[in-house]
Amino acid sequence: MSQVRKILHADCDCFFAAVEMRDDPSLCDIPLAIGGRSERRGVIATCNYPARAFGIHSAMPTARALRLCPTLTLLPGDFERYREVSHQIQAVFHELTPLVEPLSLDEAFLDVTDVTRFKGSATWMARWLKQECLARTGITVSVGVAPTKFLAKIASDWDKPDGLTVIPPDDVTRFLRTLPVRKLHGVGPATGNRLAALGITTCEELGQLGLEQLVDEFGKFGKRLFELARGIDERPVKVERERKSVSVETTFAQDLPNMAQCLEALEPLGERLNERLARHGHPSLAGVFVKVRFNDFSLTTLESRGLAPSRDSFARLLEQAWSRGKRPVRLLGVGVRLASPIQQSQLALPI
């Protein structure tokens, strides 16, 4: 019988805003957001909980956030400072276990299956992690504890801020029974709407569908849905590795029939990409790319080195990519290639 894994997902609460509030307590009780300026079509990277009470959230256009809350304090962000705090928090993670998989500056998975400290209790480890991060950095961390990565990530978000949610192995079935399918990793608005059209809103209802039916309806992702509805997630925690790209994509509930509608869909994709880049601390970039999957499931990707991520850059690549198929589009993606360490050092050389 294989050993049941113990996975932690640690997620700093409104990380960028939390660093700003730590360093300037006068910001704590007022609506605060980190993001780009509205006149530059900026987006919100993160915001504190007083701002969230107005309906503001990450990836929202700054102009809309200011309409929702005219008194919002907007800061551009100090990403070198955020990286430094992130390194301090990651150091705490590595004191507990070498098996740490960072997802961004403010969150990571930890595999503590073989950790013997705290009598092997993952719950006690999570409490220690929260206490140490707060004591050393002044930042609160929410932690989820579960036997799988996807459940640990759901758990860390369950009782934010400053939360600790534990899903023991014996409790997985009960927990999944009422879990909304939209909480599952990979289920975006389009897939969520398709499941709702089938009368599926909870994992218990999803678990009543057979593998063959789900694959017929959702293709390869149907197998993943079948597994998640049963709490199955065999993905291991992967120790930090070099990230080569950052991207976002959307599969549409209805195919986009022409180029004009594809171009309209670029703006929300660009906003999501900007938010994701902010969470990674605005890394050095080497180029941009677009991904297009047509309604016949054929896929084309087009990239250009040296371009910065902008609507014009993505629109130019999208027009070329679309011309390869000239058919309705079911999926669009945009992304950036990250500069390698060698490229970064070349970029830093004086001209």
Q: Which residues are annotated as a binding site for Mg(2+)?
A: 11, 106
132/128 Cα distance (integer angstroms): 6
Task: For residue 135, give both structure tokens.
Answer: 């004591």
For residues 162, 228, 122 and 103, what is the CA-based torsion angle, rounded to 10 degrees? -60
Residue numbering of the annotated binding site: 11, 106
User: What proportions of the chain, in percent to the nearest 5, are helix, strand and coil?
Assistant: 45, 25, 35
Concerning whether 107 is annotated as a catalytic residue, the answer is yes
86/236 Cα distance (integer angstroms): 23
Q: Are 8 and 129 in contact (CB under 8 A)?
A: yes
The active-site residue out of 39, 80, 101, 107 is 107
Q: Are 205 and 177 in contact (CB under 8 A)?
A: no
Residue with tokens 């218990």: 204
Q: Are 332 and 248 in contact (CB under 8 A)?
A: no
Q: Are 309 and 272 in contact (CB under 8 A)?
A: no
Residues belonging to the active site: 107
